[in-house]
Amino acid sequence: MMAPFRLSGGRGLLDGAVRAVLFDMDGVLFDSMPNHAYAWSHAMTQFGLAMTAEEAYMNEGRTGSGTIDILAQRFWGRNATEEEKQRIYAAKSALFNTLPEAKPMQGAREALEAAREIGAKIVLVTGSAQLSLIEHLELHYPGFFRKELMVTAFDVKRGKPNPEPYLMGLEKAGVRADEAVVVENAPLGVEAGRAAGIFTIAANTGPLPDEVLKESGADIVVAGMHEVAQLLRQ
């Protein structure tokens, strides 16, 4: 069953059935960004690459290697070597693993239920390289995700803001860009969704101003996942 779907107020107005909703994970399904921002900024700073938590939010979605190079260029005037990247990433992961496990994002379950109600496929599109991702999703959101409808860091060559992850999500779902909706929280993720030609809802679950998400090309910016559920049901 597919329900008509109409959204107003943005570019790329959708006026048809939504056959797939492509969900980002960190900052959308899990309230994990405070942990990532803390771990990134502290690990980088240990290596002399002073990074604020805000900058970590701005770079969310980029590969670890890409993020490290941005800081290395600024402070060292060159890209980091593979060995440096491995050491920094290991420090980031070690710090991250000392932090309490991120909780499911408020309203996310409701948004997943709304996607299911309108008959849309639920697709995960994440830059995460977490090995236990499927178990983690199944634990907190049982029955919503299928392995064949997931795009992770292991599937793509280029991370967000490149459209590749979202294009692959469309392919896995077997739908066209104009039959899908992206749900993102991060500026680079929004850019990726738009670059793939997909209507992109930005759920602003973090500390960045709405303007940043609008400037990244979001078709609509909402305050959180409850509002995403409302949009999908309207």
Applying CB under 5 A, which residues contact Mg ion?
24, 26-27, 185-186
* Cβ distance to Mg ion smaller for residue 5 or 32: 32
77: left (phi over 0), alpha (psi -120 to 50) or beta: left
**What CA–CA distance (Å, rounded) separates 227 from 135?**
27
Helix, strand, or coil (residue 34)? helix
C-beta of 177: minimal distance to Mg ion in Å?
A: 20
C-beta of 17: minimal distance to Mg ion in Å?
A: 26
* Cβ distance to Mg ion smaller for residue 76 or 96: 96
Pure H helices in 79-199 = 82-98, 108-117, 133-140, 164-173, 187-195
* Cβ distance to Mg ion smaller for residue 32 or 72: 32
* Cβ distance to Mg ion smaller for residue 24 or 219: 24
C-beta of 188: minimal distance to Mg ion in Å?
A: 9
- The residue nearest Mg ion at its CB is 27
**Residue 124 and residue 25 in contact, taking contact as beta carbons nearer than 8 Å:** yes
**What CA–CA distance (Å, rounded) separates 132 from 105?**
18
Both tokens assigned to 157? 């060559």
C-beta of 24: minimal distance to Mg ion in Å?
A: 4
**What CA–CA distance (Å, rounded) separates 93 from 100?**
13
C-beta of 32: minimal distance to Mg ion in Å?
A: 8
* Cβ distance to Mg ion smaller for residue 72 or 108: 108
